[in-house]
Each structure stands twice: as C-alpha cells, then as structure tokens.
Amino acid sequence: MFDYQFFVEVLVGGLLSGVMYSLVAIGFVLIYKTSGILNFAQGAMLLFAALTFVSLVERGVPFWLSLSATLMIMVGLGITVERTVLRPLVNQSPMTLFMATLGLSYVIEGAAQLLWGTQVHGLDLGIDDVPFELGGVLISRFDLFAAAIAGALVTAFALFFRYTRTGLAFRAVADDQFAALAVGLRLSRVWAAVWTAAGIVALVAGLLWGARLGVQFSLSLVVLKALPVLVLGGFDSVAGAIVGGLLIGAIEKLAEVYIGPFVGGGIEAWAAYVVALGFLLVRPSGLFGQRLVERA
C-alpha cells in the first residue's frame, strides 16, 4: 500500500536539499549570464570561503567578526579574479576561458592549503540537523534553515538587480553586451560586481555545505552537483537554477527511496546525471535557458 505521508516526507526533504544545489548553481549563472564563462572555480571559491571562516573561528575570532572578515575577503577575491584573469582574456574563446577558470580553481585550492592547512574542520552554525514534525511530516531543521537563507539571498539579489543602477547595468549586459557598450556602460565594472556577487554566493553556500559535510578539500567537488541543475534549468537563468535545484533534489531522493532498492542502492549519487543527459538530448538550452537561433 502506498504511504502518501512518507512520500511527502521524502519529497519535502529532496526539495529542501535541492535548495542547497541551487545556491551553487546561482554562482555559475551570474557569471555565465554576463560574460559567457562557465566558472569552474566556483567550487574552489566555496571551499576557500568555508575554510577561511572556520579557521578564523577556531583561532578565537568572534562569529560575526569572522563572517564579516570572510565576506570582505571573498569580495576582494572576486574583484581580483575579474581583474587578473577575466579582463586579460576577455576576447578569447569560451574554451580558453573555461580552462582559465579550471586552472584558477587549483590556484585557489592551493592558496587555501597554504593559508589554513589541509585538516578537516567541523563547522557549527548553531542549527542542529534534527527533524521536527509538521502536519505528520518530519522536516530537517537544518534543511529548513538553509532554504530560508537561500531564499533570503535570492530575494536580495532579485531586488538588487531590479532596482539599483548596477543591477540595471547587469541586466543590460546580460541581454546584449554590444548594446550595453554602445550606451556607455563599462563592462569591467559590471563584471567586477558580478564576480563579487559570485563570491558572496560562494560564502553562503560554503558555510551551509561545510556545516553539513564538514569543511574539507572534497567540499570543492560540490560544484559537480550544480551541473545537472544547470542542464535542467539553463545556464543563463537564475530562476532556472532555483527550479533546476528543486527538481534535482526531489529526483535524487525519490529515486533513491523508490528505485534504489531494485538496483542495489546508491542511485542518489548518479540519478541526476542520467536525467540531465536525457534532458540534453531533448532540450539542450534547459527549461529557462535562451535558445540559440542560427540563420542560414
């Protein structure tokens, strides 16, 4: 007999986990949308943020001061990356830019190792990962907290990009870089703002993922979780990153619970990639991505 309450519990757990995937994916989208770069260094930035924060806290720096210091460091890192990597390579091919971010990821990881060492750290944000009951459904307190933080961050970015001059410039560059240049917008400033935003996203995602998995160098591999999200939602859509994350989170949990027992388990680790591969064959641009139209 089908247990509807258990199904809802698994589904809600998957949706809340998907919010964590969306956070990582948003960092990709912000940069890809304005510059066409698939920033593979986003995972390393996430690791660097989490490792910096937890190292400061362990050295006796107060929580909020550590958070503020890490935020400033990530803003500085974003601006530095834009000026030293993106700006000199701005007219290069997408493959060259992708390889640059791939190399950058190893540079950032190496810098994190030199600064803070390689040991594993536990990260406590003061939210216990214990369930509470809501309408007969068990929901993780930490997942709910992470979803609230992610929602607040997305709302803040939405308001910023809609109602500020920098946000309007971002939208103009995202729509048409050449038209933005024609009306006098400075791409370098917009890109610096976008990389700064990506650094902030990396900080938030790094703290949440670090609290769940522990702060260790494998944390940078969380970036791979964002790839199926981007395939489903579209590489150039923030809304797509959110929807894609929710879908991937739900698919993983439901597949593990209802299909996993028939294939020996462990399906949660690769089910999302199977779905993403199938989706590429049907709709390569994603649910919300812009379709490329080529004229003969």
Q: What is the pLDDT of residues 219-253, one digit of tens each?
A: 888 888 888 999 998 888 888 888 899 999 999 88
CA distances 183 to 87, 95, 116, 180, 188, Å, are 20, 29, 45, 5, 14
Residue 16 has pLDDT above 50, yes or no: yes
- pTM for this entry: 0.85
pLDDT in tens, 260-294: 888 777 788 888 899 899 888 888 888 886 665 54
Evaluate whether residue 96 is within a structural domain.
Answer: yes
**If you average pLDDT over residues 1-27, what whole number do you get?**
83
For the segment 183-220, what is each residue's pLDDT rounded down to a tens digit?
A: 677 777 777 888 888 888 889 988 988 888 888 888 88
Judged against a pLDDT cut of 70, whether residue 46 lies above it is answered with: yes
Average pLDDT over every residue of 41-47: 89
| pLDDT(65) > 90 | yes
- Check pLDDT > 80 for residue 3: no
Residue 162 lies in a domain: yes
Residue 4 counted as domain residue: no
Q: How confident is the model at residue 178 (pLDDT cuts 50, 70, 90)?
A: low
Determine, yes or no, domain membership for 285. Answer: no
Q: Cα angle at 212 between 211 and 214, to 5 degrees?
A: 65
The answer to the question of residue 48 being in a domain is yes
- Across all residues in the chain, what is the average pLDDT? 83
- Neighbouring C-beta atoms of residue 207, cutoff 10 Å: 22
Identify the pLDDT of residue 94.
78
Count of domains forming the chain: 1
Residue 244 lies in a domain: no
- For 121, left (φ over 0), alpha (ψ -120 to 50), or beta? beta
Q: How much is the average pLDDT of 102-112?
A: 90
- Closest by CA to 245, choosing from 143, 105, 139, 131, is 143
Residue 296's pLDDT is what?
A: 47
Q: Is the model's pLDDT at 53 over the cut of 60?
A: yes
Does 265 reside within a domain? no
Residue 208 in any domain: the answer is yes
Position 62 pLDDT exceeds 90: yes
Which structural domain range is residue 200 located in? Answer: 18-219
Judge whether residue 12 has pLDDT over 90: no
pLDDT band at 130 (very low <50, low <70, confident <90, very high): confident
